[in-house]
Structure 1
């Protein structure tokens, strides 16, 4: 499952143009055209180069990385985009919200919510085999999480290259308050129910996430190390959706219940990001 990301087929000017298009969309709040016309539909190296350029710009402006998110962990979504592997994006400090927070609907373009398990690392994942045993030993605890995905690309008209370039469609995330060690719960056995306005809209289990959320983190740990940015102690890893994501709008309240991990809730209100 882990593939080496080689040299990009798209040139530096194409990568810069794609990054510029996505940056303007984020700044203006107006979604843009897909970037696959510049970098291709499935050129991993080019797509991650765009993502890296966007990350570098944010870091230069003072942003702080808090972790990573794993996307495309569902086989159905992979088939839809014609890929056979997940992707990842970068989490920043200003994406994090506390359980029960009310998030301005304009904070994330075209927001969609999904429920998943978040892991907080107690040690680095930089050396060694980075197998399931090592990942489990590195996890300090897990919590219920909501990820608010967003797309800077109009109508969510995305190919694999588009979503990777667009930071894996990362928007915001909310962590629950019930922290559990891996001695207290088994990720693959978690059962999830997500509701919007009290109506159940998504269900799933840990097995829906690459067969086991721990295996998703194994993939991420190896890929991140291959790219020279290994996972570090204290970082948050959003391990991937346990069920289908659903659109959210101002006035919605989203609650996810994950067996063994409790609940996590977020509301949405009118307004842009502060």
Structure 2
């Protein structure tokens, strides 16, 4: 894709945010688009948000389970940016009107205490950089109509990022085995999904390593204080006004997202 096509695709996605109306898949208009093109479209939007006063507060890793990679026909995860306006307080009503097609999924959030810059980052490097972990709920959303997304579409759409709710009980990394940490997801008091940390690339820590080594050659460093969402431990479930969603993660406690009645 040339620069004009990249800018046009980014503008269409930004317009979807503004109007609340999803667009046709990017790949439909640009079947020649590559993964590299999709990240250029994503970066174009990030520049727009930063110019508007947003601040990068971290990153998310998507497509980090074998099932999702098989579904999307890819052999690697993807990533998106977490901006300051995406973070919501636990137990405080979240307006679903701010999203187009929201779904929610449980994750183990890393909060960094040291910078992490690839390439060459190892699991040991990543573990040393983590200050603590938190249970988290990620609100995923798509600006692509009916979630009919290819890998190009989701990457261009900032990896389908929507929002983040962090739990409030920090846990040191050595206190929990992330691979074996079990997770239950309840919506409106009903158990809707179960999973474990091992579903995320064998361990969520592997997703942090992948992210650092992927963005490092692009000139990005994961900074102290940044939040990294490594990927979901269960399937994502749709959310509607009035829903209350609770994720309980073994060894980490729980996190609750409450959606306003509208």
Q: What is the TM-score of this pair, normalised by structure 1? A: 0.93
What residue in structure 1 maps to residue 161 of structure 2?
Answer: 170
CA separation of 1:163/1:41 partners in 2, compared to 1, >3 Å: closer, same or farther? farther
Q: Are 1:86 and 2:66 an aligned pair?
A: no
> How far off is 1:228 after superposition?
1.0
| Compared CA separation, residues 39 and 125, structure 1 to 2 (3 A) | farther
The answer to whether the 8 A contact 2:119-2:213 is kept is no
Query: Structure 1 residues 229 and 211, CA, compared in 2 at 3 Å: closer, same or farther?
Result: same
Q: Give the match for residue 260 of structure 2.
A: 269
Please give the residue correspondences for 1:98-247 in structure 2 after superposition, counting only pairs within 5 Å: 98-126=89-117, 129-247=120-238
Deviation of 1:129 after TM superposition, in Å, equals 2.6
Q: When the two structures are aligned, how many residues end up with a matched partner? A: 262
**Larger deviation, residues 39-48 vs 159-168:** 39-48
Q: Secondary structure at the match of 1:129?
A: coil
| Length-normalised TM-score, structure 2 | 0.97
CA RMSD, Structure 1 to Structure 2 (Å): 1.2
- Superposition deviation, residue 41 in structure 1: 7.4
- Displacement of 1:40 in angstroms is 3.6
Q: Secondary structure at the match of 2:174?
A: coil
Deviation at 1:11, TM superposition (A): 1.3
Long gaps (5+) in structure 2: none
Report the Cα distance in structure 1 between the residues aligned to 2:111 and 2:30, rounded to whole angstroms.
33
- Please state whether the residue corresponding to 2:43 is helix, strand or coil: helix
CA distance in 1 between partners of 2:203 and 2:152 (Å): 25
Tell me: CA distance 1:201–1:44, structure 2 relative to 1, closer, same or farther (3 Å): same
Query: Quick one: distance in 2 between partners of 1:188 and 1:40?
Result: 38
Q: CA deviation at 1:126?
A: 1.7
Contact 2:118–2:214 (8 Å) recurs in 1: no
Which consecutive residues of structure 1, in runs of 5 or more, have no partner in the other structure?
A: 1-9
Runs of 4 or more, structure 1, over 4 Å off, are none
